[in-house]
Chains A and B, each alone.
Chain A
């Protein structure tokens, strides 16, 4: 069986048989796509092209959700308004050589929606930086040449915030080393901030974790089928 098995694995685009150490939960976005495709009749036009992910309208036949392997950063006395600072790291090295990355979406998850009362002041600000070598050595500081990717303020915390990081992830694949990201959430620096005290960060307690959804196109598998289709 080992010869047949290795040939079958190869045809499935796998160099070896995976042997997972833990069986984590299946992200609901993957489960939803899987179920939708399973329930479609094989003759359905909606089934579309197996080399295109209709849900995100991008080319691709492989969707992965990477768990964050980064850690919280506690360096010295945190700035007054800081609620959370975390390094995010997603190990994209598992992508096969012939896979072309077509989309990457960061999801920041909270355990529940939170609606702070108006008296709790201005809300929160979220910043996402590309991590740099300097940031990994010491206290990360925006002026240390870290590139700001996302800056957003929000009052209500929804269960999850989603950001498109396709450009950064493609860059990690082609040019630069993947040193991860730095996520900072602070109390808004508006005039209400002074009244906040530490109360402004309470809604951050519902922070759960982050994950990166990545869509890739296996050129070898999809080129062959496109040729056949032509």
Chain B
């Protein structure tokens, strides 16, 4: 089987920067704070052999092994968020009350396979 192309560190599964700016979507007249926030996203490969820092499950280790033996049959594991954190948004509601709302799982802190 063909040697898999060398995996450069930048193509490995990890969080990538994604900044959400509320003024870009015209929400600045009702959102008081923050003006925007770093949501990030996960992108990258989960190649064989899966190294420790890739935050992988045992199943992902198995799946990469099968993928390396049978690339057409079994895909590589996916690169997904494994640790997220909440954010708080201060905004005006339709009755001009000030609302502070906490939202879970809005920021990707860590990715894994």
Distance to closest chain A CB from B25 (angstroms): 7
Q: Which listed residue (A1, A26, A33) contacts B32, Cβ 8 A?
A: A26
Distance to closest chain B CB from A104 (angstroms): 13
Chain A residues near B101 (CB-CB < 8 A) = 12-13, 61-63
Of B3-11, B49-57, B68-76, B82-90, the stretch lying at the interface with chain A is B82-90
Give the distance in Å from the alpha carbon of A5 to the alpha carbon of B34 in the complex: 18
Say whether chain B's binding surface is mostly helix, strand, loop, or mixed. Answer: strand
Whether the Cβ atoms of B30 and A62 lie closer than 8 Å is no
Distance to closest chain A CB from B86 (angstroms): 4
Distance to closest chain B CB from A38 (angstroms): 7
Total interface residues in chain B, CB < 8 Å: 29
Residues 33-47 of A, flagged 1 when their CB comes within 8 A of B and 0 if not, give 110011000110001
Q: Which listed residue (A17, A30, A228) contacts B30, Cβ 8 A?
A: A17
Chain A's interface size range is 35 or more
Distance to closest chain A CB from B19 (angstroms): 15
Chain A residues near B109 (CB-CB < 8 A) = 42-43
Q: Which listed residue (A17, A18, A33, A66) contacts B88, Cβ 8 A?
A: A33
With contact pairs A20-B29, A51-B104, A225-B104 given, residues A65 and B95 touching in the complex (Cβ less than 8 Å) = no
- Residue of B at shortest CB range from A31? B90
Residues 1-25 of A, flagged 1 when their CB comes within 8 A of B and 0 if not, give 1000100100011001111111110
Chain A residues near B107 (CB-CB < 8 A) = 42
Q: Which listed residue (B89, B96, B105) contacts A24, Cβ 8 A?
A: B96
Whether the Cβ atoms of A30 and B100 lie closer than 8 Å is yes
Whether the Cβ atoms of B91 and A62 lie closer than 8 Å is no
Q: Does B97 contact A (CB under 8 A)?
A: yes
Q: Does A91 contact B (CB under 8 A)?
A: yes
Give the distance in Å from the alpha carbon of A61 to the alpha carbon of B93 in the complex: 15
Q: Which listed residue (A17, A34, A50, A65) contacts B104, Cβ 8 A?
A: A50
Chain A residues near B105 (CB-CB < 8 A) = 225, 228
Whether the Cβ atoms of A30 and B90 lie closer than 8 Å is yes
Whether the Cβ atoms of B100 and A33 lie closer than 8 Å is yes
Interface residues of A (CB under 8 A from B): 1, 5, 8, 12-13, 16-24, 26-27, 30-31, 33-34, 37-38, 42-43, 47, 50-51, 61-67, 91, 94, 221-222, 225, 228
List 10 contacting pairs A-B, 8 Å CB cutoff, sorted by A.
Answer: A12-B103, A17-B30, A26-B98, A30-B90, A30-B98, A38-B88, A51-B102, A62-B102, A65-B97, A221-B103
